[in-house]
Amino acid sequence: MPNIGFGVFRMTDQAECEEAVVQAIQAGYRLIDTAAAYENEEAVGRAIKRCGISREDLFITTKLWITDTSYEKAKEGFYRSLKRLGLDYIDLYLIHQPYNDYYGAWRALEELYEEGKIRAIGVDNFTQDRLADFIFFNKIKPAINMIECNVFFQREDERQYLNQQNIVMQAWSPLAAGQGNLFTNPLLCEIAGAHNKSVAQIILRWIVQRGIVPVVKSSNPTRMKENLDIFDFTLTENEMKKIATLDTGHSYAMSRDTGDAVTDFLEKSSLYRV
């Protein structure tokens, strides 16, 4: 799996999403992250066909929504996503939220994995205690847990636990949607100046150095390239420690003016009833 990805959350304009994914792939991204709940899998699929990069060189992630989170419905949800994307297999398939019968859904995902329809299976938004229980009662351990992680909500306990379990941690909202005056933070600006980099690049480099895979989003081609340009420098141990002091221990995504992300999804979930 690539060590940085491009996400399309809230890209509901189909043409805009398609073009953004094409530009992201052309900029160098190989991990593309979408979900049934994002309502843009078809746009991502069209971009994959247009991009000029072979399917084998791309890593495509999508996610099972809560209305399909059961043994009976999980395969139906998976094959709908596969059809929308126009693909023969998915590189990574995640249970999007720990709601409904996610144990039953996991059994279905295990079967799809064993059939070769999915290269890896994982979970999204699972807390440590819920994940520990999940691991104990299932045959195949999740390869990934995708959770919110940024400088204001650093999730160090979760990171250490996932490392112990040999589960990769992916970070959604790695730039905290720019909240908390993130891009003008004096400490981050100081470190950015020392490396001749942007604040966003410093944050993404900090995440990667912690062994976490960030998934970033932008429709601006310049920013797409900038967010990828984080592998020609290293933050010092002292800089890493200074950034650690910014942790508030609280979610920024769940306090956005746009509303609670889970509530937003739950309100949309009727769109996915079959």
User: What residues contact residue 218 under an 8 Å CB cut-off, 6+ apart?
Assistant: 20, 224, 227
In angstroms, what CA-CA distances link 197 with 147, 182, 206, 247? 26, 15, 12, 21
Q: What one-character-per-residue DSSP string does 57-96 give?
A: G-EEEEEE-GGG-SHHHHHHHHHHHHHHHT-S-EEEEEE-
Mapping DSSP onto H, E and C, the string for 191-225 reads: HHHHHCCCHHHHHHHHHHHCCCEEEECCCCHHHHH
Q: Is 166 left (phi over 0), alpha (psi -120 to 50) or beta?
A: left
Q: Which of 126, 131, 91 has its CA nearest to residue 112?
A: 91
Cα distance between residue 192 and residue 117, in whole Å: 43
Q: Catalytic annotation on 71? A: no
What per-residue string of b and e applies to 230-266 under the rule 16 or more CB within 10 Å gives b? beeeebeeebeeebeebeeeebbbeeeeeeebeeebe
**Inter-residue contact 41 to 85 (CB < 8 Å):** yes
Tell me the two tokens of residue 99.
Answer: 């709601």
Choosing from 29, 38, 102, 113, which is the catalytic residue?
38
Cα distance between residue 270 and residue 242, in whole Å: 45
Cα distance between residue 263 and residue 144, in whole Å: 23
Catalytic residues: 38
